[in-house]
């Protein structure tokens, strides 16, 4: 889902400071890094999020590639494939014990139908968060990224995200990053396009606009 031109104009009017940023950056929400995350399955995206947590990108990418190489095909082992892979092989690919348990929990829930990813887009944001956070190793931030970048939800504000906090610090010329509560309060004006506002704040931190 993408915001309409009218919605974007209304957002810029509600927050003139953000509006100045919006006029300087080519619209692109939700925006993806170079690559093909949009083409990944929902299961693949969540498995990747677990693997990449708390690791430097290069190290995580190496482990991800090794995990993908454990089975035929280019992606992470499917739920039924993962069930046949021993813990020792997962550990040899670089997964920690906790992450191995987490991807197994995700795979098991998908396999037994307790986590129905094919139909999860029909649930509202709160329900998606609840379902995903029931999986070991998936917290609110990961679930919010899934909502924004996989389901295209327009009104999600990841208040614990350091990039969004830093973006607001730059936007409002604050002496320090806002707390999650401060960011939530400041971001109320961005509803119902809080995901879009977050996307522009990430672009501001990336240096895509001279502020």
Report if residue 114 sits inside a domain.
yes
Domain-terminating residue out of 115, 130, 149:
149
The per-residue pLDDT for 79 is 97
pLDDT at residue 127 is higher than 90? yes
Range of the domain at 76: 37-149
Task: Tell me the percentage of the chain whose pLDDT exceeds 90.
Answer: 86
pLDDT at residue 211 is higher than 90? no
Which CATH number characterizes residue 170's domain?
Answer: 1.10.1670.40
Residues noted as catalytic:
161
Mean pLDDT of the 56-71 span: 95
Domain-terminating residue out of 106, 125, 149:
149
How far is CA 83 from each of CA 49, 70, 86, rounded to the nearest angstrom? 19, 12, 8
Same domain, 129 and 170: no
Tally Cβ neighbours within 10 Å of residue 188: 10
The per-residue pLDDT for 25 is 86
The per-residue pLDDT for 38 is 58
Same domain, 50 and 99: yes
Mean pLDDT of the 146-169 span: 95
Note the pLDDT tens digit of each residue in 78-119.
999 999 999 999 999 999 999 999 999 999 999 999 999 999
Closest CA to 14 of 2, 24, 25, 6: 6
- Written as one string, the DSSP assignment of 107-157 is HHHHHHTSS-STTGGGS-HHHHHHHHHTSTT--HHHHHHHHHHTS--SS--
Tally Cβ neighbours within 10 Å of residue 84: 10
The per-residue pLDDT for 34 is 41
Note the pLDDT tens digit of each residue in 14-62.
999 999 999 998 777 766 544 455 578 999 999 999 999 989 999 999 9
Residue with the larger pLDDT of the pair 133 and 54: 133
Q: Which residue bears the tokens 């990108």?
A: 57
The per-residue pLDDT for 33 is 47
Same domain, 166 and 181: yes
Mean pLDDT of the 134-147 span: 96
Domain-terminating residue out of 134, 149, 164:
149
The per-residue pLDDT for 29 is 73
Alpha helices in the chain (DSSP H): 5-14, 16-24, 42-52, 57-68, 79-82, 87-92, 97-112, 125-133, 140-149, 162-171, 180-186, 194-205
- Report how far residue 151's alpha carbon sits from residue 103's, in angstroms, rounded to the nearest whole number: 21
Q: Which residue bears the tokens 């119902």?
A: 192
Mean pLDDT of the 167-191 span: 98
Q: Give yes or no for a contact between 11 and 196, defined as CB atoms under 8 angstroms apart.
A: yes
Same domain, 126 and 185: no
Report if residue 211 sits inside a domain.
no
Same domain, 51 and 141: yes
């Amino acid at each position: 889902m993408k915001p309409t031109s009218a919605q974007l104009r209304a957002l810029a009017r509600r927050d003139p400071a953000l509006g100045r940023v919006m006029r300087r950056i080519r619209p692109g929400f939700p925006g993806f890094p170079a690559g093909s995350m949009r083409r990944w399955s929902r299961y693949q995206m969540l498995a990747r999020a677990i693997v990449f947590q708390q690791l430097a990108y290069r190290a995580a990418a190496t482990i991800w590639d090794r995990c993908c190489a454990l089975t035929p095909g280019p992606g992470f082992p499917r739920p039924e494939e993962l069930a046949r892979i021993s813990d020792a092989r997962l550990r040899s690919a670089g997964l920690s014990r906790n992450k191995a348990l987490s991807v197994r929990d995700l795979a098991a829930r998908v396999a037994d139908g307790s986590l129905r990813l094919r139909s999860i887009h029909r649930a509202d944001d709160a329900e998606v968060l609840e379902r995903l956070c029931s999986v070991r190793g998936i917290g609110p931030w990961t679930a919010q990224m899934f909502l924004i970048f996989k389901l295209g939800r327009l009104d999600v504000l990841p208040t614990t995200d350091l990039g969004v906090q830093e973006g607001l610090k730059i936007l409002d010329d604050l002496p320090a990053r806002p707390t999650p509560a401060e960011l939530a309060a400041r971001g109320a004006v961005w509803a119902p396009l809080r995901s879009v506002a977050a996307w522009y704040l990430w672009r501001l931190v990336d240096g895509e606009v001279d502020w």
